[in-house]
């Protein structure tokens, strides 16, 4: 089996390799191809992954390439984790909205939209090449904002795409942390969009959680807080903090000495020094300060379900197709699916917590407009998307914000045909 990682210069790549090693008996991966456009990071990561595998007795061919067709040709699975413009652009996504009193965050709100604008054209190129080079292969998309990227790929290409986020297993992680319960004992209904979802009907060993157990889980999701989740009657994505504590978070972000992107830039210097050490064959401990844990486990769960045709319930970003009755069929949602060799089958949602309907609809409205704006290079749809977004919405702010956002990412937005002096 050929497995390819696009954006292999990411500091997270060794976690994927580690998960492959754990599953070596059930997933016979014999070729691992690492692709990146940053030659130095690719060289460092290729060398480290070879040392890491050798130390653990994992017999796999590992090579790096900067040729996209070479990376994709014949690949059974392609994990995508690219960041167009790197963390330098992420910092702009965080800082520009804050100037206007808005949440500055890499996947949510105006900043998340700009990440989508830079990323979607590149990912469409990948998917269209995948149609030619490996039409039966699967793209496992972890590139953020995962929901918007997955929607663009499913609406505008015929490639096989599954969109993922580690958030789908967060309730299991919270149960393990707060109660010492193994993942397989915890089930739940999961409804919403990437980084905007709600978890209800939580059971342990098939029985509903008690009020005390619910509170333990809610307290573990400390970014949102127990009182908000008790009021809603369900658990939420940690990203709901930006919707339910908006002003508080804006003020906190304004006074922080560094944005999250600046912190990650500093941290990655230490992490990559560890990867570059020719005597080192272990993942630097500093990596675990980055967050984002669990994504490699989810990715390889999908590979296992598809490759071995094992019926597996997973949370996936997929076209709605009627699963959530009040959303358009082509809009991508993040929900429970049955996964096997046939792909993903969304599970219909007969129950959706009442306090969540409106917010899900609003943000889906924004997402669909933002995807169209990214593909068409439409400033009009960009403005419409921001007007639809509950974290922006103010017309006078949108008119001032849009030129700054476009200027900040000018070199990565060829679809907008931004001539000098146009903005």
Q: Which domain holds residue 61?
A: 2-163
Q: Is residue 305 part of a domain?
A: no
Average pLDDT estimate for 311-335: 96
What is the torsional sign of CA 99, 144, 347, 229?
negative
- Closest listed residue to residue 192, CA positions, set 239, 139, 131: 239
Q: What is the pLDDT of residue 329?
A: 96
Residue 174 lies in a domain: no
Among 66-75, 122-131, 413-422, which is the least confidently predicted range?
Answer: 413-422
CB 109 within 8 A of CB 147: no
Residue 55: which CATH number? 3.40.50.720
Global pTM value: 0.95
Which tokens is 297 given?
A: 């486990």
Q: How many domains does the chain have?
A: 1
Cα–Cα dist 139/422, whole Å: 37
Average pLDDT, integer, range 19-45: 97
- Residue 75: pLDDT over 50: yes
343: in domain = no
Q: What is the pLDDT of residues 219-273, one digit of tens each?
A: 999 999 999 999 999 999 999 999 999 999 999 999 999 999 999 999 999 999 9
295 located within any domain: no
Residue 188, in any domain of the structure: no
> Looking at residues 407-420, what average pLDDT do you find?
84
Q: Which residues of 140-161 are buried (b: 16+ CB within 10 A; e: fewer)?
A: bbbbbbbbbbbbbbbbbbebbb
pLDDT over threshold 50, residue 309: yes
Q: How far is CA 238 from CA 48, 85, 108, 218, 346, in A?
A: 33, 26, 12, 10, 23
CA–CA separation, 151 and 157 (whole Å): 10
Is residue 391 one of the residues assigned to a domain?
Answer: no
91 lies in some domain: yes
% of the chain residues with pLDDT over 90: 94
Q: Is 415 helix (H, G, I), strand (E, B) or coil?
A: helix
- Token pair 């197709």 in the structure block, residue: 321
Query: Which residue out of 12, 52, 142, 239 is catalytically annotated?
Result: 239
pLDDT in tens, 152-187: 999 999 999 999 999 999 999 999 999 999 999 999
DSSP states along 29-40: --EEEEE-S-HH
The fraction of the chain above a pLDDT of 70, given in percent, is 98
Q: Read off the tokens for 385.
A: 């998307």
pLDDT digits (tens, 9 = 90+) for 127-155: 999 999 999 999 999 999 999 999 999 99
Whether 178 is covered by a domain: the verdict is no
DSSP H/E element including 79:
strand 77-80
For residue range 347-398, list pLDDT tens digits in order.
988 788 889 999 999 999 999 999 999 999 999 999 999 999 999 999 999 9
172: nearest Cα among 220, 133, 136, 129? 220
Nearest to 162 by CA among 139, 190, 191: 139
- Tell me the angle at which helices 246-255 and 86-99 cross, rounded to the nearest 10 degrees: 120
Tell me if residue 263 is catalytic: no
Grade residue 423 by pLDDT with cuts at 50, 70 and 90: low
């Amino acid at each position: 089996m050929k497995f390819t990682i696009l954006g292999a210069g990411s500091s997270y790549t060794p976690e994927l390799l580690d998960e492959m090693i754990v599953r070596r008996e059930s997933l016979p991966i014999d070729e691992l191809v690492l692709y990146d456009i940053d030659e130095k990071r690719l060289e460092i990561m290729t060398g480290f992954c070879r040392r890491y595998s050798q130390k653990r007795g994992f017999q796999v061919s590992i090579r790096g390439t900067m040729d996209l067709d070479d990376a994709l040709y014949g690949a059974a699975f392609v994990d995508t984790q690219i960041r167009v413009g790197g963390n330098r652009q992420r910092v702009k996504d965080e800082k520009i909205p804050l100037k206007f009193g808005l949440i500055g965050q890499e996947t949510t709100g105006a900043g998340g939209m700009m990440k989508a604008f830079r990323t979607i054209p590149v990912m469409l190129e990948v998917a269209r090449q995948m149609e030619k080079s490996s039409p039966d292969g699967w793209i496992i998309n972890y590139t953020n904002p995962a929901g918007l990227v997955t929607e663009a790929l499913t609406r505008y290409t015929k490639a096989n795409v599954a969109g993922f986020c580690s958030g789908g297993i967060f309730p299991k992680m919270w149960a393990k942390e707060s109660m010492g319960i193994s993942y397989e004992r915890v089930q739940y209904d999961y409804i919403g969009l990437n980084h905007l979802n709600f978890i209800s009907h939580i059971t342990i060993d098939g029985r509903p959680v008690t009020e005390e157990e619910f509170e333990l889980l809610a307290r573990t999701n400390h970014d949102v807080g127990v009182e908000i989740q008790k009021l809603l009657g369900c658990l939420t994505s940690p990203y709901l903090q930006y919707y339910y504590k908006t002003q508080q978070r804006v003020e906190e972000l304004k006074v922080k000495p560094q944005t999250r992107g600046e912190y990650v830039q500093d941290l990655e210097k230490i992490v990559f020094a560890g990867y570059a050490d020719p005597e080192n064959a272990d993942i630097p401990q500093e990596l675990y300060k980055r967050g984002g844990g669990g994504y490699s486990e989810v990715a390889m769960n999908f590979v296992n379900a598809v490759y071995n045709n094992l019926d597996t319930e997973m949370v996936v970003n997929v076209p709605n197709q009627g699963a959530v009755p009040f959303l358009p069929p082509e809009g991508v949602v993040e929900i429970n699916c049955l996964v096997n060799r046939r792909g993903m089958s969304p599970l219909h949602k007969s129950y959706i917590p009442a306090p969540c309907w409106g917010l899900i609809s609003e943000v889906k409205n924004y997402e669909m407009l933002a995807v169209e704006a990214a593909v068409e290079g439409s400033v009009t749809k960009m403005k419409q998307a921001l007007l639809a977004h509950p974290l922006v919405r103010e017309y006078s702010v949108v008119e001032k914000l849009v030129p700054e956002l476009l200027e900040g990412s000018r070199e990565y937005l060829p679809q907008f045909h931004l001539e000098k002096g146009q903005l």
